[in-house]
Amino acid sequence: MELPKNKDIVGIDLSEDKLLISCLRNSGGKREFVKLAHYSTEGMKEEDISQLVVKVVKELKIKNPFIVNVIPLHLTITKNLEIPSLDAKEIKEIVDLQSGRQTAYSREEIIVDYINIGVYRRSYTKILLVIVARDAIKRQFDIIEKAGLKVQDMVFAPEGITQICLEYQAKELQNVPVGIVHVDENFTDFIISLRGIPIFTRSIPIGVKHFTEDKAKAGTKFVEEIKSSIETYQSEDIDAAPQVITVTGAIDHVRELKAMLTATVQVTIQNIAYFDCLPLYTNCKPVEALVQNISFLNITSVFLILQSLKVSLIPEEIKLKRVFEERTRQLVKLTVNFMIIMFLVGSFFISKTYFEGAYFKKLKEYNETIHAEAKILERNMERIRIIKHYLKNRGYALQVIAALYDIVPENIMLTSIKMDTQRNLNLKGTGRAMSTVFSFVSALEASDYFSSVQTNYTTSRKQGGKDWADFGIFCVLDTGLEIN
């Protein structure tokens, strides 16, 4: 489990007949516990406990808290095993197959996880197997879920305790086994830690409550249990024997344990007052009597460590359900994103088509306007051309007649003069003699103003007792007659 950043984290312990709650405010890189509380749930129904959880969380005024259920050591069964494999997948499969043989419960009645301790004899892996009854987990899970809260994870408390105690150990003890005795109200956790990892655990059914009832009896039995635990650890050949034991938790009533343990197990004993080291908000101070009898180390240490916790005791069906829900959310998210993309792409093409259509329509309207204006301009240009042509060629016909006048003999009369735009000139007339006509043709050919002179026809006739010669002549006007 990795804790989220910038989010309030609520730890819940529902073991036995009590409710322990911690609230860690994790904001801006700063961590502070703003709430540490204990409530008795003896004789309460699960629905009532759920309502109590709702009330406490509401008092914290937290929106969408990150809920972690902390499972103490005494609710679990732990076993040290050697697995003939180094592959994590194979180790998990072997653990699933073999875990049912380690308890009186069937495989369906337990939840199992493990901590990898390290490689042994090159091809073996030492593990600390953690087993918990499914009913105990289900009870706590149901109570929290009925309170309308989502359990993000169920963690193994000794993992946090070992890593916190590692911070207070001398440098020379960082890489050797160290014993930890965590004293609580009804139980004591005995843990052997190596580099901040629990490699051996045992729950002792003696706590502060028993010391307050009969200190001498409880002390004697307690020391025997610690000695027996160390012997069990050594008999399983897990690692070297611890040379230092750290006593922590609710130790105000059991401070004399230090001398008793030193004399019995003959190792160095050190007390750690964990509570004084917690990052507490100014107003987060449980009453002194409460701290003396109850340890909050379980539900605080797991939130202060930097390493992620390895053990998760969430039921497998819940994990599968959450994986399915997460994949469903991802699928829905993917579908929504795909639909959004398709909508945006469709909108792009639709808008592109629309704007192109609008643009072409505007171009067409503009073109029609330009076309109409162009027609008007064309007509005006034609008029200008005609006027320019007229202005350029006005008086031209008079010049042609004047040129002909200088050439036509006195005995010839022109009856028709026709001229086209290509400067082709057709002349018709009558002369008194055919020789006069031929002289006229020669005069036209000799003129600088006429070329390609041809006689189309000549005919003779009599009229009034006189001879007449009719003729038709074709010629081309020379450019010398053009007016500039």
E-strand ranges in 412-465 read: 412-419, 424-431, 450-463
More confident residue, 264 or 20: 20
Q: Give the pTM.
A: 0.69
Distances (CA, A) of 300 to 13, 55, 147, 303: 11, 21, 22, 6
Give per-residue pLDDT as tens, 106-133: 888 999 999 999 888 888 999 999 999 9
Is residue 422 in a domain? yes
pLDDT of residue 483: 41
281 shares its domain with 428:
no
Query: Contact 359/366 with Cβ under 8 angstroms?
Result: no
168 shares its domain with 308:
yes
Is residue 37 in a domain? yes
Domain end marker among 272, 288, 314: 314
Residue range of the domain that includes 102: 9-314
- CA distance linking residue 295 with residue 272, whole number of Å: 12
More confident residue, 148 or 26: 148
Is residue 216 in a domain? yes
Number of domains in the chain: 2
302 shares its domain with 416:
no
CA-based nearest residue to 297, from 86, 119, 117, 33: 33
Q: Choose from 126-140, 246-260, 421-435 the range with maximum mean pLDDT.
A: 126-140
DSSP classification of residue 4: P
138 shares its domain with 241:
yes
Residue with tokens 């006069």: 436
| Cβ neighbours for 67, distance < 8 A, ≥ 6 positions apart | 10, 12, 144, 149, 150, 151, 152
Is residue 211 in a domain? yes
Give per-residue pLDDT as tens, 394-403: 667 777 888 8
296 shares its domain with 417:
no
Buried b (16+ CB within 10 A) or exposed e, 126-157: bbbbbbbbbebbeebbebbeebebebbbbbbb
Domain end marker among 265, 290, 314: 314
308 shares its domain with 400:
no
Q: What is the mean pLDDT of residues 293-319?
A: 86
Domain end marker among 256, 288, 314: 314
pLDDT of residue 101: 83
Is residue 184 in a domain? yes
159 shares its domain with 46:
yes
Is residue 322 in a domain? no
pLDDT of residue 216: 87
Is residue 341 in a domain? no
300 shares its domain with 401:
no
293 shares its domain with 402:
no
Give per-residue pLDDT as tens, 171-223: 778 889 999 999 999 999 999 999 889 999 999 999 999 988 888 899 899 99
Give per-residue pLDDT as tens, 39-87: 999 889 999 999 999 998 888 888 888 999 999 999 999 999 999 999 9
Q: Please tell me the least confidently modeled range out of 45-49, 153-157, 175-179, 368-372.
A: 368-372
Is residue 337 in a domain? no
Q: What is the mean pLDDT of the chain?
A: 87
Here the CATH number for the domain that contains residue 451 is 3.30.1360.100
Here the CATH number for the domain that contains residue 31 is 3.30.420.380
